[in-house]
Every structure is written in C-alpha cells, then in structure tokens.
Structure 1
Amino acid sequence: MVLTFPTFTAGMVLSISLIMAIGPQNAHVLRMGLQRQHLWLTVAVCALADVVLIGLGVFGLAQLGGLSDKLLGALIGAGVLFLGVYGWQAFQRFLKPQALALGNDDQGKPQRTAAPVTQRQAVLSALAFSWLNPHAWLDTAVLIGTASLAYGQGSTAFGLGAATGSLVWFVLLGAAALWLGHRLNSLHLWRVLDGAVALMMWGTAGWLLSTLM
C-alpha cells in the first residue's frame, strides 16, 4: 500500500490536470447545468465514458503503442464534423436570441427556458461529447495509457487513480454548474455563453483540421 498510494495519487493528479481545460465535454456539462436538465445524468455518463477510455488506454492502447494513423484520422474527421455542427447551432442561438423561448424569473426579469431534452437525448449527447472528441481520446486513452507504462505492475493503481480523478472532477463541475444555474438566468448571459461556445467549438475543429495537414 505504501507503494500503491503514490501511484494512485499520480494517476488522479494527471487525470484532473488533463481534463480541467474547458473543452467541449466540460462546456456541455456546464450547459446542461445552466439549463437544469438531466445534469447528474450527464455527469454520470461523461464520467463513466472517461473511465471506459482510461481503462482502454491503460489496459489496451498503451500495450499496443497507441492509435493507428488511420483510426486517429477517422476519429479526428468525425470530431471535426460534430464540433462544426454543434458550433453552428450555438452560433444560430447567438444570432437569433428572439427565437429563444423566454419566460420571467421571480423578479419579473426575462430568462431563457430551454427546449426540453429527453433522458435518451441527454445520454446520447454526453456520449457524443465524450467519444467523438479526439481530445478525450488523446488525453484519457493515449496520454494516461502511455504514462501508466512507467509504473510497471502498478499501472492498475495508476489507472484507478486516473478514473477516480475523472469522477471527482465531473462531480465538482456538476455542482458548480448547478450553483450557476440558479444565478445566471438572463438572456444576455445566455447569448454570451452561446457565442463563446460557438467560437470554442469552431476553434477546436480548426485546430484538429490543421493536425491532418
């Protein structure tokens, strides 16, 4: 246990440090929290999806030497398409705020009422942001998987630490999104968020395309 605990901690620290950047997956969790729709279901699916990728990396890809060029290229292509479409949807919401469904909060100020999302849609969206995102594969499966090789027979403890780090991060992110969801209700703030999301999605898609050239 003396040797295992530092290895477990190293895996947890690496996992949290890789996932902390506000990428498409984290932005989606925040959005579901602000909309107050299936937040904890989204958190659970994203966390479990990351655990699957970490397990694949530690026990599979790391032993095989990573993703093949063709598989990586296909993954990047699917990710670019997905991010482009999602960014376009966010940009349309930014351009046409009058088309949004509006209501009033307790003080009579306008607020946004998001279109209802079913549980199935919430699950599929969370899986798409987790598994159609090349960054998720590179960070969780490839980088964490490769790093686990340095710990030899302690790679299992390292992987468990990485999985725990992912779970801790998404629970904290969900709690933050829930807290913000009760305070950020104005149409102006939603429009700023949609504009930022569109730019981030397109920027990520553009960067991914540049890696293929």
Structure 2
Amino acid sequence: MNGTLTTALAAGLGTGLALIVAIGAQNAFVLRQGILREHVAAVVAICALSDVVLIGLGIAGVGGVVRLWPAALTVVAILGSAFLLTYAALAARRALNPSAMPMSENATTRGRRAVAATCLALTWLNPHVYLDTVLMLGSVGNGFGDLRWWFAAGAALGSLLWFTALGYGARLLSGLFTRRRSWRILDGLIAVIMATLGIGMLTNALR
C-alpha cells in the first residue's frame, strides 16, 4: 500500500470520525441501546451500513443533487424534528416516571423491528446527515481524485469502528445503571438532547 493511498485512507478515517463522534440523537440512541444490551448488533449494523450508503452517494456525486433541491432537506428537517420531539417526550416520560425505567419489573423489552425503525428514523430523517456525510464527505473525498474510493473506505471504516465501540463499549456502564437514578439522569439528558436538536432543526427549516 503506497503512501498516497494510505494518506487517502487515513484522511477518510479521520474525517469520518470527526463528523460522527459528536454527541447527537443517533449516538445517544446507540449508547442507550448498548447500556440496555438490547438489539445492539442490529443497531450498529443499521448505523454503519447507512453511513456506507451515504458516503458512497457523496463520493458518487449525489451531493450536487442535495444542493439543487434544498426544499427536500426542508421536508426532511420538519419530519425529523417531529420525530425527535416525540422521542424527547418519551424520554422525558421515562425520566419522570420510575415505573417506565428499563430496570423496572413493569418495563417491557422493545422488539427488534421497533428498535430498527427508530434507528432508521434517527439516521435518515436527519438533514445534517445529507449535508455532512453526503455533501461534505463527498466534496472532501472527491478531492482525492482516483483515490476517492479509498477515502470512502476509510470513512466507512471509521463509522464501523465508532458505532461498534459505542454500542458494545456502553455495556461497561451497565453496573452504574443498576440504579434507577442513573436511568432517570440518562433519559433526562437524552430528552434534552433530542428536544434541543428537534427545535433547532425545525427553526432552521422554517427560516
């Protein structure tokens, strides 16, 4: 593997990680599922494979379409905002209602389909994923010319490594979350994150 190819791969890895590591709705969801140890493999797979598709679209030049159809992003933003605000309300309900805590005898485990649907919505109803992953990563990657697909491979690898580490590493915190208070704090933080992102997304969409 020559130096130039390695540079493209490393640049993709670094750029991809820089864009996905920041705390957001998707990462908060993966973290919670990891602590719960509930359908972690499915969640990690959905997040990583979605990024692979989005990165591929960006490298293939679909970012130009994103620029040409800003109205489409507005629709996505409105739908995504509604979903995030709904999720925030549910998280707030869990935080305020101890009987809804995962450790409670009255709590029920969510099915794989419900978890997968939530993960897909958090991923694909986020307009920033099209701006950051498709447009930004695509633009940077295409700057590498013939090596752009190696850049894409590095970015995809970064996504896989991050979501795997977050999803499966979160179980290290499971001991802390044997206490109801810990779950209430986590769900309270998730509610704040989701609500803040949802309101911000809706505000930007309606400008």
TM-score, normalised on structure 2?
Answer: 0.91
Task: Supply the distance in 1 between the matched residues of 2:16 and 2:68 (Cα, whole angstroms).
Answer: 19
SS in 2 for 1:146: helix
> Bigger shift: 185-194 or 169-178?
169-178
Q: Which residue of 2 is the match for residue 177 of structure 1?
A: 170
Q: Which residue of 2 is the match for residue 108 of structure 1?
A: none
| CA distance 1:83–1:123, change in 2 (3 Å) | same
- Does residue 132 of structure 1 match 2:133? no
Q: Which residue of 1 is the match for residue 189 of structure 2?
A: 196
Task: Please state how far the C-alpha of 1:113 moved relative to its aligned partner.
Answer: 7.1
Task: Please state how far the C-alpha of 1:20 moved relative to its aligned partner.
Answer: 0.6
| CA distance 1:81–1:6, change in 2 (3 Å) | same
Contact 1:54-1:163 at 8 Å conserved across structures: yes
Q: How does 1:81-100 map to 2 (within 5 A)?
A: 81-100=82-101
Contact 1:14-1:162 at 8 Å conserved across structures: yes
- Cα deviations across residues 134-188 of structure 1 (Å, max 9, x unaligned)? 2222221121112112112221111111111101111111222121124322110
- Where do 4+ consecutive residues of structure 1 move more than 3 Å? 62-67, 98-103
Report the number of matched residues. 205
Task: Supply the distance in 1 between the matched residues of 2:128 and 2:55 (Cα, whole angstroms).
Answer: 13
Q: Percent identity, aligned pairs only? A: 37
1:122 corresponds to which of 115, 118, 139: 115
- Does residue 34 of structure 1 match 2:35? yes
Task: Please state how far the C-alpha of 1:82 moved relative to its aligned partner.
Answer: 0.8
Q: How does 1:1-213 map to 2 (within 5 A)?
A: 1-64=2-65, 66=67, 68-100=69-101, 102-103=103-104, 114-212=107-205, 213=207
SS in 1 for 2:60: helix
- Cα deviations across residues 187-206 of structure 1 (Å, max 9, x unaligned)? 10100111111111110112
Q: Which residue of 2 is the match for residue 109 of structure 1?
A: none
Unaligned runs of 5+ in 1: 104-111
Task: Supply the distance in 2 between the matched residues of 1:194 and 1:72 (Cα, whole angstroms).
Answer: 28
TM-score, normalised on structure 1?
Answer: 0.88
Task: Supply the distance in 2 between the matched residues of 1:201 and 1:22 (Cα, whole angstroms).
Answer: 11
Contact 2:99-2:107 at 8 Å conserved across structures: no
Task: Please state how far the C-alpha of 1:50 moved relative to its aligned partner.
Answer: 1.2
Aligned residue type for 1:93: R
> Bigger shift: 166-175 or 115-124?
115-124
- Cα deviations across residues 8-56 of structure 1 (Å, max 9, x unaligned)? 1101100001101111111111111111211122111111111111111
Task: Please state how far the C-alpha of 1:120 moved relative to its aligned partner.
Answer: 1.6
Task: Supply the distance in 1 between the matched residues of 2:24 and 2:79 (Cα, whole angstroms).
Answer: 16
RMSD over aligned CA atoms reads 1.9
Aligned residue type for 1:181: S
